[in-house]
Amino acid sequence: MKKTTSAIYISGLLAFFAGAAQAAEDVGSRNLAAACAACHGTNGHAVTGMSALAGMDKAYMVKTMQEFKTGKRPATVMHQLAKGYSDDQIGQIAEFFAKQQK
Partner 1 sequence: MERREFIKLASAAAALAALPGCATSSGGKSIGRVVVVGGGYAGAAAAKYVRLWAPDIEVVLVERDADFVSCPLSNRVLSGGKSIKDLTVSYSKLGSKYGVQVVHDEVTAVDADKRTITLARGNTISYDRLIVAPGIDFMYDAIAGLNNADAQKKVLHAWKAGPQTVALRKQLEAMRDGGVFAISIPKAPFRCPPGPYERACLAAFYLKQHKPKSKVLILDANEDIVAKKGLFTKAWKDLYPGMVEYRANSELVDVDANTLTAKLQFEDVKADVLNVIPPQRAGKIATSAGLITANNRWCGVDYLSYESVAQKNIHVLGDATLAAPKMPKSGHIANQHAKVCAAAVVALMHGGEVYTEPLIANTCYSYVSDTEAVHVAAIFKYDANGKTMASVPDSGGLSSAASDIEGMYAEGWAQNIWADMLG
Of 19-78, binders to partner 1 (CB under 8 A) are 19-20, 23, 27-28, 30-32, 34-42, 46-50, 76-77
Look at residue 33 and give its three-state secondary structure: helix
Q: How many CB atoms lie within 10 A of CB 82?
A: 19
Single out the residue of 7, 12, 70, 87 in contact with partner 1 (rule: CB under 8 A): 12
Residue with Cβ nearer partner 1 (15 or 59): 15
Q: 30: closest CA among 99, 101, 80, 102?
A: 99
C-alpha span between 87 and 102 (Å, rounded): 24
Q: Note whether 89 and 43 are within 8 A (CB).
A: no
# residues near partner 1 by CB under 8 A = 34
Degrees, nearest 5: CA angle 76-91-12: 155
Nearest to partner 1 of 13, 59 (CB atom) = 13
Q: Which is nearer to partner 1, 28 or 87 (CB)?
A: 28
Contact residues: partner 1, CB under 8 A: 9, 12-13, 16, 19-20, 23, 27-28, 30-32, 34-42, 46-50, 76-77, 80-81, 83-85, 89
